[in-house]
Chains A and B, each alone.
Chain A
Amino acid sequence: MIRDFGITWAHRDQLINGLINTVWLSLWAAALAFVLGCLVAMALMARTPGVAAAARGFVDAMRCVPFLLFAYLVYYGLPSFGIRFTNFGAGLLALTLYNAAYMAELLRAAWAGLPREMIEAGHAFGFTGLSLFRRIVLPPVVLAAIPMIGNQLIQIIKDSAFLTIIAVPELTHEASSIQATYFVPFAAFVSAVVLYWLLCMVVETAVGAVGRLAESRR
């Protein structure tokens, strides 16, 4: 067993590269999913019935598809319509779209929980449309939703592990390739698990710190 961990240690560069890819992929996916989630949340809260229904359809569809299947669909399915991505691109797109639905839903929930008068004050003082959303609605929504956004970030990190099946060179993929080459499954996978765990600890700590900072502004 010690020998197995020795072999894994010898290939630490590969694991670190995988970790870096996982971090990049997750951060990009989180940022893009947040932006897209904001737009979808706006649509969900829109008074135009068609818009709200379309957004609701998107959110429900995403939430009912297993992520693995969705990743397959983006990577293998879209090329039949002539839309082709790199592995990394397909992985990022799948992660983004899938998690945007969750982001939208959690932002909508936080939005619906805001005191009505506060948004009304925005209207009363002449804010409209995008500036109302950006300046009056979004900041308190985000402040209220920080713990949920943190959870979603962790979910994104874990979802990114699925992307090994479309050969995105992220952490799980690298661990898997080490174990397949040297047959050290326990050592390789436990190492990956520990790295995921550390990554999630960093996220939790950061979210906690931001949350405490936000406390005075709620």
Chain B
Amino acid sequence: MSDTGPNGAATPLSNQPPELVLDVRGISKSFGALQVLSDISLKVARGETVCIVGPSGSGKSTLLRCINWLEAPDAGQVYLAGRQMGVRPGGALVMSDRELARMRTRIGMVFQHFALWPHLTVLQNVMEAPLHVQKRPAAEVRADAEALLDKVGLGDKKHVFPARLSGGQKQRVGIARALAIRPDLLLFDEPTSALDPELVGEVILVMRELARDGMTMVVVTHEMGFARDAATRVVFIDRGRVVETGTPQQFFSAPTTERARQFLQRYATTANGSAHAAGR
């Protein structure tokens, strides 16, 4: 993280190309006759914030779920920090659940509907995976979790159960939980789509902070405001294919494809309110 600036670009001091955290090579996925992803490739360097945008049902969420192998792609490979997901080194052997789980602990995931564990308090939610999957020492995990909850502004809610929280608070716990495993990569699956418009801002604020701190993030979102000024790169996906990819400036001010233009236009007219609110 030290050799990358806030926008993920390598600083002049470093001659080496920025380290690849995620390398998705030509993955495809079908559900029955429905081809959801076709030959998608995506490289994410350390410290980058890549926003994936596109119409509903275009395969964005499936792409995220293929990255951490919640869905196994039909074709293509996913490399996480140089190690292939789902397949044993050098072979075509499929990983066991346990091996897969070990790799997954390097990827934090934030879910659309929060997916907090309702039987655990906020603090326990954040500590659960570090304690019981990573088996790190309890004192260290607790100190970590408390610091993370302070960071997302929920230090005073640590002994509360998720059912007592607002959507925005739940999602901030979701982010703290994802950070607690000290991931190489954070995946956000439409983190603000299930929130009331007035609660979107507090979650976006936390995500901006993470982006600024140089966390490596892949964010599926409809919040164009966030994509515009927190992303290092925007990837536009439609009907399971990468249609266009570029810096936010390129993408939002001069999209090169007709489909992206149409998408942005539709957005400007239908979702201006919330996109604007989150753009602050």
Contacts and interface: CB of A to CB of B under 8 A. Distances in A.
Interface in B100-128: 100-102, 104-105, 107, 109, 111-120, 128
Interface residues of A, number: 22
Q: How large is the interface on B (under 10, 10 to 19, 20 to 34, 35 or more residues)?
A: 20 to 34
A124 interface: yes
Q: Give the interface SS of chain A, mostly helix, strand, loop or mixed.
A: helix
A128 B98 contact: yes
A161 interface: no
Interface in B194-237: none
A124 B70 contact: yes
Point out which of B101, B134, B181 has the most chain A C-beta atoms below 10 A from its C-beta: B101
B121 to A, nearest CB: 9
A135 B128 contact: yes
A131 B112 contact: no
B178 to A, nearest CB: 8
Contacts of B98: 128-129
B109 A118 contact: no
Contact of B115 (A117, A139, A216): A117
A118 B118 contact: yes
B271 interface: no
Interface string A131-142: 100011001100
Interface string A101-142: 000000000000001011011111111110100011001100
Nearest to B162: A217
A6 B127 CA distance: 62
A42 to B, nearest CB: 14
A218 B119 CA distance: 6
A144 B86 CA distance: 34
A118 B132 contact: no
B111 A125 contact: no
A7 B119 CA distance: 52
A68 interface: no
B164 interface: yes
A135 B132 contact: yes
A191 to B, nearest CB: 42
Contacts, number: 76
A131 B105 CA distance: 15
Contacts of B120: 139
Contacts of B267: none
Given A128-B101, A217-B119, A121 B163 contact: no
B107 A124 contact: yes
A125 B161 CA distance: 19
A125 B118 contact: no
A36 interface: no
A120 B164 contact: no
B28 interface: no
Contacts of A118: 115-118
Nearest to B96: A128
A125 B133 contact: yes
A126 B101 contact: yes
Interface in A20-63: none
Contacts of B181: 125-126
Point out which of B114, B115, B161 has the most chain A C-beta atoms below 10 A from its C-beta: B115
B129 interface: yes
Given A216-B161, A217-B118, A125 B113 contact: no
Contact of B104 (A123, A129, A136, A139): A123
Nearest to A117: B115
Contacts of B102: 126
Nearest to A141: B119
A125 B128 contact: yes
Nearest to B174: A121
A121 B109 contact: yes
A139 B100 CA distance: 24
A1 B134 CA distance: 70
Interface in A194-218: 216-218
Nearest to B103: A126
Contacts of A135: 128, 132
Contacts of B169: none
Given A121-B109, A125-B177, A125-B181, 7 more contacts: A118-B116, A121-B116, A128-B98, A128-B101, A139-B117, A217-B118, A217-B119
5 contacts: A125-B181, A129-B98, A135-B128, A140-B117, A216-B161
